[in-house]
Amino acid sequence: MVRTWTRWKTRMRTVSLGDEVRPRQLPVLRLFGRSLHLSYWNEAWTTRESLLERLARRFSRAGLAVTQDPGWNDYDLEVRPDPWTRLHFKTADEEHEGARLKNHVAVRVRLSRLTLMGIAILAGATALCAAMGLSVMAAVLTALIMASAMCAVSQAVESGRVAYQAVEQCAYELNLIPLGKPTAAARRAAAAAEPSAAAAEPIASPAKLFADNRSAVE
């Protein structure tokens, strides 16, 4: 189990999604829903279809299976980063005056059927051993279930990290302005760019534009 988990963890960390930039905003995490949420602002009428198309291309180039919603699911895009987890991308556009849009992105991390079936089989075998009085075997299977659950949770966190970085990268390429809480790297970049921008021309700094756009939307 340790060897298998290490191989999959290494594979996930070496998945290449292209030229990555540092995330500019922190996601809103909803643990009970096993999802993360991001919001962006743009004044060029960049719709969610553009973001979804770019995400699909990026994951496909990385060799990951991508499935578009046929119209019957409650998500727009499904990505299979590994056999154990699934990523469901759900988007929405909020229209504002002057051809401006607020793009909402939700990414839900789900366990695959293979993972759920494996855990269910182990749980059934544990219950059967306990009913038959095989306490040692039941204890071993219980430990195996706990280890499998920990691996599944860790893999889900890693898949969520990949999805988060992919959305931030695609949003950056589309010139979408993040509306969430900025990351430490984004704050440092804005602080470093502010003095030079003020000295060159009387143009608002990226940090000020970020704050003005966010307050205007709210």
What would the pLDDT profile of 68-105 be if each residue is shown by its tens digit? 988 888 899 999 998 889 999 999 999 998 889 999 99
The least confident of 102-116, 165-179, 189-203 is 189-203
Cα four-point dihedral sign 33, 38, 43, 47: negative
Would you report the helix, strand and coil content of the chain in percent, each value rounded to 5? 50, 20, 25
Residue type, 66: V
Neighbours of 99 (CB within 10 A): 10
Is the pLDDT at 210 greater than 60? The verdict is no
Predicted local confidence at residue 1, as pLDDT: 64
Q: Which residue has the higher pLDDT, 204 or 1?
A: 1
Q: 202-218: buried (b, 16+ CB within 10 Å) or exposed (e) per residue?
A: eeebbbeebeebbeeee
Predicted local confidence at residue 39, as pLDDT: 96
Instruction: Give the mean model confidence (pLDDT) for residues 120-126.
Output: 87
Is the pLDDT at 201 greater than 50? The verdict is no
Is the pLDDT at 169 greater than 90? The verdict is yes
pTM above 0.85, yes or no: no
Is the pLDDT at 152 greater than 70? The verdict is yes
Instruction: Give the mean model confidence (pLDDT) for residues 172-177.
Output: 94
